[in-house]
Amino acid sequence: MQGNNSNLKNLIIYEIYVRNHGPNGNFSDVLKDLERIKSMGVDIIWLMPIYPIGKKNMKGTLGCPYSIQDYREINPEYGTFQDFQTLLNAAHQNNLKIMLDIVFNHTSCDSTLVNIHPEYFHQDKHGNPITTVPAWSDVIDLKYPNDELEKYLIDTLCYWVEMGVDGFRCDVASIIPLPFWLEAKAQVEAINPNFIWLAESVETGWVIERRRHGLTAHADAELYRAFDLTYIYDIWALFKAAVSRTLPVERYLEMIENQKGTYPHDYIKMRCVENHDNLRIMAFAQNENIAQAWTAFEVFLPGAFLIYAGQESASKKTPSLFDIDKVKWGDYSLQNWLTRLFQIKKSKIFTNGNHYFLAAKPAIQSIWIDQDVVFYNIFNINDVKEPITCQLSDGLYEDLISQEYFQISNGKLDLNGASALIFKVSPSLEFTTMRFKLLEHFDD
């Protein structure tokens, strides 16, 4: 990473699958929704792939958006280039950025590239293009390094940047050679020095497995040389286990803390509780209150936050990638609550401050400290009904989320059913932070 990235540390990113976002499944539906999305405090709209989808070996009735025929065309399901440009212009008028999904590990089995340049692809012993991930049967993998291929791909990136897009979310970025990303970044930033790069970094186990087979796989720490933000897939399995209560929550908190020493000093993670590849938080948390507690917890960790369209309606269903499977919007039951979280997230303390864990049970407690400001955070991940012990002086405290007051008496706080609380408290207070196993050898 280069320069000052503090302005990216509290980004709110909103993921949209155009096919399933609105009644018509096109750019016009997204255009009509811009004002509502902006009102939530969103900074960036990430559009899942908007390109034509391959027909050969197609999955489902309409195919997967990650099986791309042509990187420089628009899926006619969604509209025309003019429709896309209209959406892009309207987003900019609403102070929203547009991030495109870039899929440079593979194309569809009938892509324009494979028809013209079969040598750009991994091949079997018979010369047939193949995927290196057997489960991805509807795609074939590009083979790096290849100067001509890489020039075509970087020219493609510049093509979209010149059109006015503001960022790229790069699919499985970890398995594409880092020198390619570095060169791509240099050429894109010559056009737009403020361009935003998000890497879909992959789970650690997958990095290890691909390396065993002699395939490219970069760890997140390497990706920060080219990318501004990476996914939290390095600890995603621990997150899911903590939510499902098959892993002590202390273990998950330990790994979050460990990120501070694993990555560059100014690293930024994109936190989330769901996305298009994973179950909705409402589908795997024990109840809605716990789901909200975990959502608030991830929002107020160091880094940006992703909301997947439909999350504001407490949706339990992850839309199919391969078919028409519309988001059921209902009454947007969580929109006001999420909007309040995102408003608080814009406080400078989340870009300039330091974060510490205080307790893991029965509710997670943490603090953010920035000079003369302290935020005391409580996340009721176990839906605790009885009063909890906290490290605050007795008195009345205003919750920044609900803007209601809570009483602390004899060091005890009744959460009154709240999923999450944030108090702005005196910086003169002293707090006992958690000591993780990774720090125990310093105790002498």
What is the distance, to the nearest Å, from the Cα of residue 380 to the centroid of all Cα atoms in its chain? 23
How confident is residue 10, by pLDDT bands cut at 50, 70 and 90? very high
Tokens of 329: 């919007």
| All domains in the chain, ordered by first residue | 6-346 (3.20.20.80), 355-442 (2.60.40.1180)
Partners of 373 in the β-ladder: 370
State yes or no: pLDDT of 444 exceeds 60: no
> How many of the other CB atoms lie within 10 Å of CB of 429?
12
Q: What is the pLDDT of residues 183-196, one digit of tens each?
A: 999 999 999 999 99
Peptide bond into 177 cis (omega under 30): no
Cα-Cα end-to-end distance for the chain:
36
Percent of the chain with pLDDT over 70: 97
Tokens of 174: 């970890």
421-443 average pLDDT score: 78
Q: What angle separates helix 236-243 from helix 249-262, to the nearest 10 degrees? A: 160
How confident is residue 371, by pLDDT bands cut at 50, 70 and 90? confident
Tokens of 249: 């929550």
State yes or no: pLDDT of 320 exceeds 70: yes
State yes or no: pLDDT of 140 exceeds 50: yes
Tokens of 169: 């979310």
13-23 average pLDDT score: 97
Percent of the chain with pLDDT over 90: 95
At position 189, the amino acid (one-letter code) is E
At position 200, the amino acid (one-letter code) is E
303-317 average pLDDT score: 98
Q: Which of 244, 253, 267 is nearest to 377 (CA)?
A: 253
pLDDT at residue 428 in the model: 85
C-alpha torsion angle, residues 165, 268, 9, 363 (rounded to 10): 130
H or E element, residue 47? strand 44-47
Contact 283, 318 (CB under 8 A): yes
How confident is residue 264, by pLDDT bands cut at 50, 70 and 90? very high
pLDDT at residue 441 in the model: 45
How confident is residue 205, by pLDDT bands cut at 50, 70 and 90? very high
Report the side by side order of strands in the sheet with 270-271: 229-230, 196-199, 167-170, 97-102, 44-47, 12-16, 304-308, 270-271
How confident is residue 5, by pLDDT bands cut at 50, 70 and 90? low
Contact 296, 341 (CB under 8 A): yes
State yes or no: pLDDT of 1 exceeds 70: no
Q: State how far the Cα of 129 lies from the Cα of 123, in Å rounded to an integer.
A: 4
pLDDT at residue 228 in the model: 98
Residues 6+ positions from 441 with CB-CB distance below 8 Å:
none
How confident is residue 4, by pLDDT bands cut at 50, 70 and 90? very low
Q: Which of 385, 408, 411, 382 is nearest to 395 (CA)?
A: 408
Q: Are strands 229-230 and 12-16 parallel, antiparallel or unpaired?
A: unpaired
pLDDT at residue 442 in the model: 43
State yes or no: pLDDT of 366 exceeds 80: yes
Q: Cα–Cα distances in Å, from 10 out to 6, 138, 210?
A: 8, 36, 33
pLDDT at residue 2 in the model: 42
State yes or no: pLDDT of 256 exceeds 90: yes
User: Higher-confidence residue: 441 or 412?
Assistant: 412
User: Higher-confidence residue: 426 or 236?
Assistant: 236
Q: What is the pLDDT of residues 95-106, one digit of tens each?
A: 999 999 999 999
pLDDT at residue 145 in the model: 97
> How many of the other CB atoms lie within 10 Å of CB of 26?
20
State yes or no: pLDDT of 37 exceeds 90: yes
How confident is residue 443, by pLDDT bands cut at 50, 70 and 90? very low
240-249 average pLDDT score: 96
Per the prediction, the chain carries an average pLDDT of 95
Quick one: DSSP state of residue 176? S
How confident is residue 3, by pLDDT bands cut at 50, 70 and 90? very low
pLDDT at residue 6 in the model: 56
State yes or no: pLDDT of 347 exceeds 80: yes
Tokens of 28: 């016009």
At position 82, the amino acid (one-letter code) is Q
Q: Is the dihedral of CA 24, 44, 86, 48 positive or negative?
A: negative
Residue 402 CB-density burial (10 A; 0-12 exposed, 13-18 middle, 19+ buried): middle
